[in-house]
């Protein structure tokens, strides 16, 4: 059960880390609490990952898994419950076994905050999305709502407007929390903002067709037709293991890394959505590869950078 490198997470970052590590001659284990692929599994279509003009998230996840299996079989459905460091050795405990490694890559990603209203789960991937960069192109020339009032919501609304959508920004408070420069851009672009309003439910037949809103002041309900909705109320980084190891994070809760994906704890690297940034498949893969190659520095190996 002893390895040189343990990769926690089987999304794009974890898959890339596993492939690059084994190819670099590193004894590696990849542990994934669910299925290989991570968040991309729930993406209906992906059109911005180089090499695939259009592919479903599930199909791409299967390709990732097949590629990873060429070098190493990932441990799916085996979440890490505990992680500790004793000297230069990391101990990882799952329900099935205890593993030790000399280096650790945390690639546990981040999960989207959900509204928790009726229809949200039913229409996810069928009109309800959590990533404008990922899914915005599918709604070109259509009417969409962006739910949220922070920087991310404002930026996503602007992005969607710039690629040709009729965009409405919906916020539960009486003013946006986004920085003033974003607020000015929203106004300049003619994006309609509905204040003091929350989503009650998403409606439709096979796909999203309308959203029921409630005015938080008057409690009046109304329904408006939309082709799509982008829920942009933040992400929750999966940093529980990192916290236990004393890994430093920024004020948003994302793990802080340098150009080689190193954290402040020697031997611990982080890659993918858990580090913030663009949070795209292509950047996650790049970070996973970089982290795997950088780990050679604590394993007594040399990689020709």
Please identify every residue annotated as catalytic. Answer: 131, 134-135
Nearest in space to 136 (alpha carbons), one of 160, 152, 112: 160
Specify the length of the chain in residues. 305
Q: In what order do the strands lie in the sheet with 143-147?
A: 128-129, 228-231, 143-147, 166-170, 192-194
In Å, what is the CA distance from 200 to each residue of 119, 123, 203, 288? 9, 14, 10, 39
Query: Distance between CA 24 and CA 159 in Å, rounded?
Result: 39
Helix pair angle (281-294, 12-23), 10° resolution: 30
Find out whether 264 and 283 touch, Cβ atoms under 8 Å.
no
Query: Distance between CA 139 and CA 126 in Å, rounded?
Result: 11
Query: Distance between CA 215 and CA 164 in Å, rounded?
Result: 28
Degrees (nearest 5) of the Cα angle 68, 21, 249? 100
Query: Distance between CA 229 and CA 202 in Å, rounded?
Result: 9
SS3 content of the chain, % helix, strand, coil (to 5): 30, 30, 45
According to DSSP, the β-strands at 82-86 and 89-93 are: antiparallel
β-pair partners for 206: none
């Amino acid at each position: 059960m002893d390895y040189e490198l343990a990769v926690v997470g089987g999304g794009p970052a974890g898959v890339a880390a596993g492939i690059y590590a084994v190819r670099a001659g590193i004894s590696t284990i990849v542990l994934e609490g669910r299925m290989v692929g991570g968040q991309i599994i729930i993406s209906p279509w992906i059109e911005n990952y180089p090499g695939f003009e259009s592919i479903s998230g599930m199909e791409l996840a299967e390709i990732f898994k097949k590629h990873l299996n060429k070098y190493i079989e990932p441990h799916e459905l085996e979440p890490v419950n505990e992680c500790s460091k004793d000297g230069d050795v990391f101990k990882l405990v799952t329900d099935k076994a205890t593993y030790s490694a000399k280096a650790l890559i945390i690639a546990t990603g981040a999960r989207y905050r959900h509204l928790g209203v009726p229809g949200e789960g039913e229409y996810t991937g069928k009109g309800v999305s959590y990533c404008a960069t990922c899914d915005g192109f599918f709604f070109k020339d259509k009417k969409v709502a962006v739910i949220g009032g922070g920087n991310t919501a404002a930026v996503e609304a602007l992005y969607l407007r710039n690629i040709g959508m009729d965009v409405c920004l919906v916020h539960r408070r009486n003013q946006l929390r986004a920085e003033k420069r974003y607020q000015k851009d929203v106004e300049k672009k003619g994006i309609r903002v509905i204040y003091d309003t929350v989503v009650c439910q998403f409606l439709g037949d096979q796909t999203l067709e309308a959203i029921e809103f409630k005015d938080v002041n008057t409690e009046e309900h109304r329904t408006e037709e939309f082709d799509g909705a982008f829920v942009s109320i933040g992400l929750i980084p999966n940093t529980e293991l990192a916290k236990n190891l004393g890994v430093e994070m920024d004020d948003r809760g994302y793990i802080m890394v340098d150009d080689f994906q190193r954290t402040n704890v020697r031997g611990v690297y982080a890659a993918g959505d858990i580090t913030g940034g663009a949070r795209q498949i292509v950047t996650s893969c790049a970070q996973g590869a970089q982290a795997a190659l950088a780990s050679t520095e604590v394993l007594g190996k040399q990689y020709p950078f």
